[in-house]
Amino acid sequence: MTMIERAKQLRRSRTPFVHATVVRAQQPASAHAGDEAILLSDGTIEGFVGGQCAQSSVRKAALGALQAGESVLLRVLPDGDVHFPEAPGACVVVNPCLSGGALEIFLEPQVPAPLVCICGATPIAQALAAMTAALGYEVRCDGDADVTQAAAVVIATHGGPEAEIIRAALDAGVRYVGLVASKVRGGAIVDALALTDAERRRVHTPVGLPIGAKTPAEIAVSILAEVVRAIRVEGLAAPARNAATAHMPRDKACHGHG
């Protein structure tokens, strides 16, 4: 399987990874410009971007890039002076190997877009699906929705098995569950579920920010604004991604800057 095929496979399964490419190499480094690898969140390296000495530095920097969601130019340089072009803003680490050699490796994190599952075929659900997709988020509706990977679930069915959907989303670990309903009806549905305090804080009903929305499109805007705030401000993430990145080191891999 080529790196391109492997990357497509990982994107389809919503698996975060880092694509590493050697952009410059100086002998006697074992890697060459154009060598590439995929690094997974458990530290697995698929491909080749350097020997054992370089791999530990690449792994640490890649996990940091994946956690931050930002690309990094990693410079792995031998201890001491080296004639190697400057790269302002690069992350620099020292190659501990006696064999020496210098590498520049571009690390590009590939983090799945937030997944929002929308239940319902109502005008509000349709408007919300269109706006969510316009933001670049992944949208799945009803039967296509696997809530175990969802950052948020919004129920806009105006009836039906709303309580069952809420319960299933909470059991799957979804941290934002929105129910389109009046304050009285929504409160009655939630009360009947006998949720814990922690579970109740994850259920939003009436859903959306209080902006005086009236039309389906306006209501969709208020809901999506609340979802975006939960993702960007409150650090909402899909349960699968939390598990994948829970072990990542929070310290930077850089000890100096070029």
At residue 125 the predicted structure's pLDDT band, cuts being 50, 70 and 90, is very high
Longest pairwise C-alpha distance within the chain: 72
Across-strand partners of 95? 78
Mean pLDDT computed over 32-61: 91
Is 96's pLDDT higher than 70?
A: no
Between 240 and 82, residue with greater pLDDT? 82
Total length of the chain: 258
Mean pLDDT computed over 7-21: 93
What are the tokens at 128? Answer: 């919300």
Is 171's pLDDT higher than 90?
A: yes
* CA Rg value for the chain: 23
Q: Which of 12-16, 63-67, 113-117, 128-132 reaches the highest mean pLDDT?
A: 128-132
Report pLDDT digits (tens) over 197-245.
Answer: 999 999 999 999 999 999 999 999 999 999 999 998 887 765 444 333 3
What is the 3 state secondary structure string of the chain?
CCHHHHHHHHHHCCCCEEEEEEEEEECCCCCCCCCEEEEECCCCEEECCCCHHHHHHHHHHHHHHHHHCCCEEEEEEECCCCCCCCCCCCEEEEECCCCCCEEEEEEEEECCCCEEEEECCCHHHHHHHHHHHHCCCEEEEHHHCCHHHCCEEEECCCCCCHHHHHHHHHHCCCCCEEECCCHHHHHHHHHHCCCCHHHHHHEECCCCCCCCCCCHHHHHHHHHHHHHHHHHCCCCCCHHHHHHHCCCCCCCCCCEEC
C-alpha span between 20 and 17 (Å, rounded): 10
Least confident range from 113-127, 137-151, 161-175, 216-230: namely 137-151
Tokens 């350097």 sit on residue: 50
Burial of 228 (0-12, 13-18, 19+ CB in 10 A): middle
Between 249 and 184, residue with greater pLDDT? 184
At residue 102 the predicted structure's pLDDT band, cuts being 50, 70 and 90, is confident
User: For the chain, which domains are there?
Assistant: 3-111 (no CATH), 115-243 (3.40.50.720)
DSSP for 154-215, please give it: EE--SSSSHHHHHHHHHHTT-S-EEE-S-HHHHHHHHHHTT--HHHHHHEESS-S--S---S
**What's the pTM value of the predicted model, to 2 decimals?**
0.71
At residue 257 the predicted structure's pLDDT band, cuts being 50, 70 and 90, is very low
Q: What are the CA-CA distances from residue 24 to residues 8, 21, 35, 55 (Å)?
A: 25, 9, 10, 16
At residue 252 the predicted structure's pLDDT band, cuts being 50, 70 and 90, is very low
At residue 82 the predicted structure's pLDDT band, cuts being 50, 70 and 90, is low
Residue 19's pLDDT is what?
96
Residue 223's pLDDT is what?
97
Across-strand partners of 47? 37
Residue 254's pLDDT is what?
52
Mean pLDDT computed over 43-61: 89
